[in-house]
Amino acid sequence: MEETDFILSKTTFMIKTFMRPHILERLLISIEKLYGKEAEKVKIIIADDSKEQTDIWQKYPMQIDYHFLPYDIGISAGRNFMLDKIKTPYFILLDDDFVFTKETKIEALVSHLIDNSNLDIVGGLVYNMQPKPSDLIRKERGEEKGMRCFIVDGDTIYVEKKVTELIGSLQIGHMIPNFFSARSNSVRKNRWRDELKKWGEHRIFFIDCMKKGLRVALDPAVSIINAQDLSVKNRSKNLEIRKKYKRLSEEMVLNEYALRILPNKKKALGKRGWWSNPFCSSEIR
């Protein structure tokens, strides 16, 4: 209990939300349920750039610092805003459609940072699940998202599901899902890119981490559920928006690092017709 209190005193949960208060509330309910009487010790900062303001957060016992931002400033700008506001040495990055379970061991993630001074970011697994109308989430686990490694060869870069090394039970690599603990000061030196409002911010964030020497790890014993929102409307419009920001992020990587992003090894082989000595890069030269 003392260790949990200590870690919670040093950690802020960081949540960016947009136009879905019912989804945000589901996350807050799961946090309160997991921590029980200790929930009042949990520090949370929320950045909301929705059109309409909400007060759903006021009924929860957690220490919630809620900020209403200008409409649709985007996920990256919202995260950077919170990064500037938090005062704790560590933070936990959360998407608003996450759901905590008994395997969501925040204390374990932060403890890894405390015990390993050479690590900057430590995350857990994310299981994608689609809610059924009758249930909060499906009981069985869905698609797993975990550690990924950037493979660099010549002027191309792609991602594979592998690790560069192991430190005990920790997997070391380059890119993990949007569920992680981090040193606040380390990420302040490697901020999200405000131009990427809707999509494409994730991969380039971790490419930047690799460039700047931030060390990324994953603990497979820790996990969270991504209970995807099925009520999203205008999916075709959203797809076009995603494509727009995907192209923008790829242009950034090409312009700044002279690397063409390919989605996977199969695409890379098809593009080049051969593959010579691909490797997990510790940095981009």
- Given a contact cutoff of 8 angstroms between Cβ atoms, the answer to whether 72 and 49 are in contact is yes
Give residue-wise pLDDT tens across range 81-90: 999 999 999 9
285 domain-assigned: no
Q: Partners of 224 in the beta sheet?
A: 126
pTM: 0.86
d(CA 284, CA 209): 10
Integer Cα distance of 127 and 10 in angstroms: 27
Return the pLDDT at 143.
59
- Residue 250 maps to a domain: yes
Within a domain: 66: yes
Domains: count for the chain: 1
Helix (H, G, I), strand (E, B) or coil at 284: coil
Q: Give the residue numbers spanning the domain of 73.
A: 2-280
Distance CA 190, CA 194 (A): 12
Residue 155 and residue 12: Cα distance in Å, rounded?
39
Provide the residue count of the chain. 285
CB atoms within 10 A of CB 166: 10
Residues with pLDDT less than 70, the chain: 1, 130-144, 230-238, 263-285
Q: Which residue, among 46, 70, 49, has the nearest Cα to 58 in the 3D structure?
A: 46
Who contacts 265 (Cβ-Cβ below 8 Å, separation ≥6)? 151, 158, 160, 275, 278
CATH of the domain at 94: 3.90.550.10
Residue position matching structure tokens 């759903």: 56
Q: DSSP for 180-249, please give it.
A: EEEEHHHHHTS---TT--SSSHHHHHHHHHHHHT--EEEEEEEEEEEE--TT---HHHHHHHHHHHHHHH
* Per-residue model confidence (pLDDT) at position 268: 46
Q: Is residue 131 part of a domain?
A: yes
C-beta of residue 196 within 8 angstroms of C-beta of residue 185: no
Identify whether 233 is part of a domain.
yes
Chain centroid offset of residue 82 CA: 14
CA 167 to chain centre: 21
